[in-house]
């Protein structure tokens, strides 16, 4: 933990610099593509004077991305977080250098040429890639590499949005797949360092500062739950829309390299109809929070952004989901706020943002804290929690998977993000061990033991190993059925102690089942004698694979067996 925390210091600094570089690239490409000037000043595509020619800008950017994916790395396609999950769960937390370089460049081109995406997915993937590359320079386990990969991802998000707490929660809810100090503390260190580095690089937060609201009343919390339910149904609809578009692109008789350019046509047309759908849309988010977008403009923004984003994302281009979800959730919340008699449009826009993010990404705690850190409106914690949890409740009942894990499922990788205690950690060896001990005297001949097995000795036959006991019924060794076969092949008729093993690994009744299982895996054996801790030759039980599975069966019964108390 201490070693990884020291490494996380460096990763936090590195990821903050990478975040600054990504935002610099986005601004530079936006200036070049829409205003034909070399500048890194922060601008939006909405003020361009290109007219109908603007349609060609996102198409040109998408063509470049398609070529980069085809001849560089296909892993730059998509919105970043599923790719980070895939690297963690399936790639032993190893990410290639070319992915670390091409992902931010492709995302900057996509967003800078008008793509309706956010920078958070790309920076999570890019920060994670640099964290992984850093970790690969040292002799670390896959689990330790995972911690540093996630530390890079959290640090990147912390630097872009000035939200270190939400970045850590995102790591916990989406990326780590564990809750251990070994991983939580280094990830927190990286996020904190990145938030400090953000100040000289990008300025202080919050990035969407608003006037604070009064603490919500019971009536407002009830309406917040209603907005959350509405956002939950919106989350399900958005997820289905994105993957319906992806399925349509799969049917095209063209190489996937051309799909982003085809999807970018919708971006260009959508940008002509409503320029607010172009780019990251941070000004649009701020406008929603200030209550400046009202009436028909909300409906137009909601429909246009949803369609353009779903088509573009389904085409396989590079970009993130978080900023679009904030815009869509904010528009939905502000629209619902027209019929809510309490609160202002900005209040319901913020609750809608948190609910849409929490429901779509299945990360309600991240969404709640993210909304607060973006605005510093701490009084709204209860309302944001209510909306996020309500949206989550709807989406888990509507859909088997989230927008993030559905992509992995379509690649044949089914994962779960529900944390639970390992039953092997809870159970003790004494609770599952077999008290009927398969044993044979040390002086027995190999052929005699083989005959007993052939005759169907029930106790020996259903156990792969037989414990070898001396005249005082003390443990001296173990012989497996494989040992018997090898001994008979060599035409040996020695005592079974000669064919068996005397270099024993044992378990103790009071140790966790997880520790005993670790011993079995380390020595590549399938059974352990269970002995008294004070007297390792006194056998009290036998631990085999069937005994271990009984612990899992106990958990299964607790989850599925309904009965009166």
Whether 380 shows a pLDDT value over 80: the answer reads: yes
3-class SS of residue 254: coil
Domain 2-202 in CATH 1.20.1560.10? The answer is no
Percent of the chain with pLDDT strictly greater than 70: 93
Whether 212 shows a pLDDT value over 90: the answer reads: no
Domain ranges of the chain: 2-202, 218-410, 423-555
Distances 272 to 167, 267, 315, 324, 357 between C-alpha atoms, Å: 35, 9, 20, 18, 27
Q: 490-537: per-residue pLDDT in tens?
A: 765 677 777 778 888 899 999 988 899 899 888 888 889 999 988 888
* Residue 462: predicted pLDDT: 67
Multiple choice CATH, 423-555, 3.90.226.10, 3.40.50.300, 3.30.9.10, 3.10.580.10: 3.10.580.10
Q: pTM for the full model? A: 0.79
Q: 215-258: per-residue pLDDT in tens?
A: 999 999 999 999 999 999 999 999 899 889 988 998 989 888 99
The CATH homologous superfamily to which domain 218-410 belongs is: Clc chloride channel (1.10.3080.10)
- Tokens 């020595």 correspond to what residue? 523
Distances 238 to 277, 308, 315, 377, 460 between C-alpha atoms, Å: 16, 11, 15, 27, 59
481 closest CA partner among 456, 500, 494: 500
84 closest CA partner among 98, 94, 73, 70: 94
Q: 413-424: per-residue pLDDT in tens?
A: 666 666 667 777
Say if 2-202 and 218-410 have the same CATH topology.
Answer: yes
């Amino acid at each position: 933990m201490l070693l990884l925390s020291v490494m996380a210091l460096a990763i936090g600094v590195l990821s903050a610099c990478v975040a600054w570089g990504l935002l610099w690239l986005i601004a530079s490409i936006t200036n070049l593509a829409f205003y034909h000037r070399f500048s890194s000043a922060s601008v939006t595509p909405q003020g361009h004077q290109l007219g109908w020619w603007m349609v060609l800008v996102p198409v040109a950017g998408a063509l470049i991305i398609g070529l980069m994916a085809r001849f560089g790395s296909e892993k730059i396609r998509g919105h970043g977080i599923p790719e980070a999950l895939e690297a963690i769960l399936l790639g032993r937390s190893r990410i290639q250098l070319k992915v670390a370089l091409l992902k931010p460049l492709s995302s900057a081109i996509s967003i800078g040429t008008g793509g309706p995406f956010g920078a958070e997915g790309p920076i999570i993937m890019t920060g994670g890639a640099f964290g992984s590359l850093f970790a690969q320079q040292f002799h670390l386990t896959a689990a330790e590499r995972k911690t540093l990969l996630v530390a890079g991802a959290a640090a990147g998000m912390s630097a872009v949005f000035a939200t270190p707490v939400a970045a850590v929660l995102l790591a916990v809810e989406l990326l780590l797949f564990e809750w251990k100090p070994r991983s939580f503390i280094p990830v927190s260190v990286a996020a904190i360092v990145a938030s400090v580095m953000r100040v000289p690089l990008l300025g202080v937060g919050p990035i969407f500062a608003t006037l604070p609201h009064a603490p919500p009343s019971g009536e407002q919390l009830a309406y917040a739950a209603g907005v959350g339910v509405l956002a939950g149904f919106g989350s399900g609809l958005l997820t289905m829309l994105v993957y319906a578009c992806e399925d349509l692109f799969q049917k095209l008789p063209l190489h996937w390299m051309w799909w982003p350019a085809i999807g970018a046509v919708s971006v260009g047309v959508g940008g002509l109809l409503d320029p607010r759908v172009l780019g990251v849309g941070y000004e649009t988010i701020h406008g929603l929070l200030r209550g400046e977008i009202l009436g028909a403009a909300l409906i137009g923004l909601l429909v246009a952004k949803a369609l353009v984003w779903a088509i573009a994302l389904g085409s396989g281009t590079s970009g993130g989901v978080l900023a679009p979800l904030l815009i869509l959730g904010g528009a939905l919340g502000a629209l619902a706020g027209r019929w809510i008699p309490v609160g202002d449009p900005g209040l319901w826009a913020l609750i809608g943002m948190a609910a849409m993010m929490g429901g779509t990404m299945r990360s309600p705690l991240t969404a709640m804290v993210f909304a607060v850190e973006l605005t510093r409106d701490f009084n709204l914690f209860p309302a944001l929690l209510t909306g996020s949890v309500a949206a989550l409740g709807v989406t888990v009942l509507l859909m088997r998977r989230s927008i993030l894990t559905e992509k992995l499922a379509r690649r044949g990788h089914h994962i779960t993000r529900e944390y639970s205690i390992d039953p092997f950690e809870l159970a003790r060896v004494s609770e599952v061990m077999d008290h009927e001990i398969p044993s044979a005297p040390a002086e027995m001949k190999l052929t005699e033991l083989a005959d007993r097995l052939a005759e169907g000795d029930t106790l020996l036959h259903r156990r792969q190993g037989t414990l070898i006991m001396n005249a005082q019924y003390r443990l001296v060794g173990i012989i497996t059925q494989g040992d018997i076969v090898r001994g008979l092949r060599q035409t040996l008729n020695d005592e079974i102690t000669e064919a068996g093993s005397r270099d024993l690994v044992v378990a103790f009744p009071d140790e966790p089942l997880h520790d005993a299982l670790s011993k079995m895996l380390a020595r590549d054996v399938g059974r352990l004698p269970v002995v008294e801790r004070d007297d390792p030759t006194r056998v009290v039980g036998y631990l085999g694979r069937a005994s271990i599975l009984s612990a899992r069966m106990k958990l299964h019964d607790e989850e599925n067996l309904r009965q009166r108390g």
